[in-house]
Structure 1
Amino acid sequence: MTVAVIVTMWVSLSLFGAALLATQQVDMVKGKWYDKIEVSVFLCVPNVEGGQCTANQGATQAQKDTIKKTLEANPQVATVYYESKHQAFEEYQRVYKDSPVKDVLTEDTIQDSFRVKLKNPEQYKGVVSQAQGLPGVQAVLDLHPVLDPLFMWLNALKWGTLGMSALLLVAAALQIGNTIRMAAFARRRELGIMRLVGASNAYILTPFLLESLVAGLIGGVLACGTVALGVYAIIMEKAAKTITTIVWVGWHQTFIAMGAVLIVSVLLSVLPALVATKRYLKV
């Protein structure tokens, strides 16, 4: 039974540590990409239609001033940067300098725009809807339609792992409680003698709690080793070297997860044992 408790704790706590790392990984990726998100407000030019554009007419200076003032007045906006046609064309030439499409666009066909940096990248819908209704705006673009489905699946993976680890932790707690209850039942005669000679409840309960604590700590240490090995072999040696565009979890995040695993292993071993002993140990 003790070996079964150790193995159950090992597996459940390993999955719990992996869930904590997955949570930190999602937050790191989300923070990196969301910090770079800008809302691009493209202005009307004579040869581009759609949005709030007048046919064959570009955005006037008065409209540009109004758009800038409106955006700056929005409480969700941090900064507003104007990118002229010339600047946009130079950037286009730089990005596509080795591409056949380099000469497709000219400076006259390039749109000038406002680049809007948000205080909270997740609060973007109000800024987008406001900008879309301003005269002189042809289109408003942002990266959320691309990133939101990605983070939806990452969050689903995170919560799924947490849910599975929670079920295994409950199973481990029940197994620990059952093991301690059986141990107390097997030693009921000895415990009766201890009670008759005046032994305190703490004196009687301590051996059972220590037995459970040792089993839990062994499982926790094995789980910490599994988590550390997984991070080194899978993340550091494989994923981080293959996909360099993503910030991956490192030893700092691993140590945080390992600390949480050890804390949970102590709580998970002591509390069920205490409850089981108090409830079922009647001498």
Structure 2
Amino acid sequence: MKSSFILSEVFGGLKRNFSMVLSVVLVTFVSLLFVGSAILLQMQIGGMKDYWYDRVQVAVFLCPPDSEAPTCAEGEVTEEQKESIRADLEGQDLAAYVDEVHFEDKEMAHRLFNEQFAGTSLEGSVPQDQMQESFRVKLVDAEQYEIINEYFSATAGVEEVVDQNKLLDQLFAIMNVATAIAVAIAAIMLLCAVLLIATTIRLSAFSRRRETGIMRLVGASNAFIQLPFVLEGVIAAALGAALAGAVLALVVHFGVAGWLQAQAAGFELVSVGDVLIVTPLLIGIGIIMAGVSSVITLRRYMKV
């Protein structure tokens, strides 16, 4: 009897305040959409770090014919200098830091360049004889790049040493900024959702003040009187959270796992499975947010 009465009160309140409830659903949807996007973006950053940091290398670029670097004063790197640099990389001095070394000649550099920019205006734009030779070094510890850089900083035939980790760090820093922006927008929208839920519950309680007054007179507890109002906010917020999860799943399925994954066929992007992991968290956030704001709002009202 009590449960049926509470449910009838809940659905009655949802019907009477449909426009406000719809506003709560939409604001919760938008705010949790940003929250979910931020979580998925962080999951993607973590996956990309695991993938790329295991594959990035230190590139020891050799002198091209027209370099102005002090170590290239004698012109293009000679065969003797190449062998000397290779011997240093594979020698005992760097054995504790260097895992693998392979040489990338002009032909290979040209082929890889065209593969990387296939289908763009850059494909075939650089002749093979203008490509730069290099040694690609995989380190035992990727953070020990400075050791290689310092070792070859004054070596004849070496134009520069480039750590690809630094390029990735810049990329991930940009992605982290995007995540921070999404979190900031989500926080603002969540605050709006909390205020809107509180307003909706207050108006709903005010419109039914006669019923709640009668219930109080017949001895109903505060918890029993408050529960229908709390459930109204919780249901609206849960619907908004579920809608956010559904939209994220559609975007990931058709946009990320569909089109974008085909463009980045080398590592895994976030999938619908990841969205299914995030969605219950979004629903939980929505329920807690609505429940807490409703209880705080009604606590003062019930004391009247």
| TM-score interval (norm. to shorter) | 0.7 to 0.9
State the partner residue of 1:116.
138
TM-score (norm 1): 0.74
Count of matched residue positions in the alignment of Structure 1 and Structure 2: 271
Residues 222-274 of structure 1: CA distance to partner in whole angstroms, max 9, x if unpaired?
Answer: 22221112222222332223443553211222212222211112112111111
State the partner residue of 1:81.
100
2:284 counterpart SS class:
helix
CA 1:27–1:187: 2 relative to 1, 3 Å:
same
Q: Is the Cα–Cα contact under 8 Å of residues 38 and 118 in structure 1 kept in the other structure?
A: no
- Write the letter of the residue equivalent to 1:22: L
1:152 counterpart SS class:
helix
State the partner residue of 1:131.
151
Q: Is the Cα–Cα contact under 8 Å of residues 38 and 142 in structure 1 kept in the other structure?
A: yes
1:186 corresponds to 2:171: no
> Following superposition of structure 1 onto structure 2, how do residues 5-154 of structure 1 map, counting pairs within 5 Å?
5-41=24-60, 58=81, 64=87, 68-73=91-96, 77=97, 79-83=98-102, 104=129, 113=135, 115-120=137-142, 123=143, 126-133=146-153, 138=158, 139-154=160-175
- When the two chains are superposed, the root-mean-square deviation of aligned CA atoms in Å is 4.0
1:223 counterpart SS class:
helix
Measure, in 2, the Cα distance between the counterparts of 1:161 and 1:149.
19
Identity, % of aligned pairs?
28
Measure, in 1, the Cα distance between the counterparts of 2:82 and 2:105.
16
Which stretch shows the higher mean deviation, 220-229 or 18-27? 18-27
What's the CA shift for 1:176?
A: 0.6
Q: Is the Cα–Cα contact under 8 Å of residues 41 and 131 in structure 1 kept in the other structure?
A: no
Q: Is the Cα–Cα contact under 8 Å of residues 184 and 281 in structure 1 kept in the other structure?
A: no
Measure, in 1, the Cα distance between the counterparts of 2:24 and 2:224.
24
What's the CA shift for 1:91?
A: 5.1
Measure, in 2, the Cα distance between the counterparts of 1:97 and 1:205.
68
CA 1:92–1:4: 2 relative to 1, 3 Å:
closer
Q: Is the Cα–Cα contact under 8 Å of residues 176 and 273 in structure 1 kept in the other structure?
A: yes
What's the CA shift for 1:115?
A: 1.4
1:171 corresponds to 2:166: no
Unaligned runs of 5+ residues in structure 2 are 1-19, 116-123
Q: Is the Cα–Cα contact under 8 Å of residues 145 and 163 in structure 2 kept in the other structure?
A: no
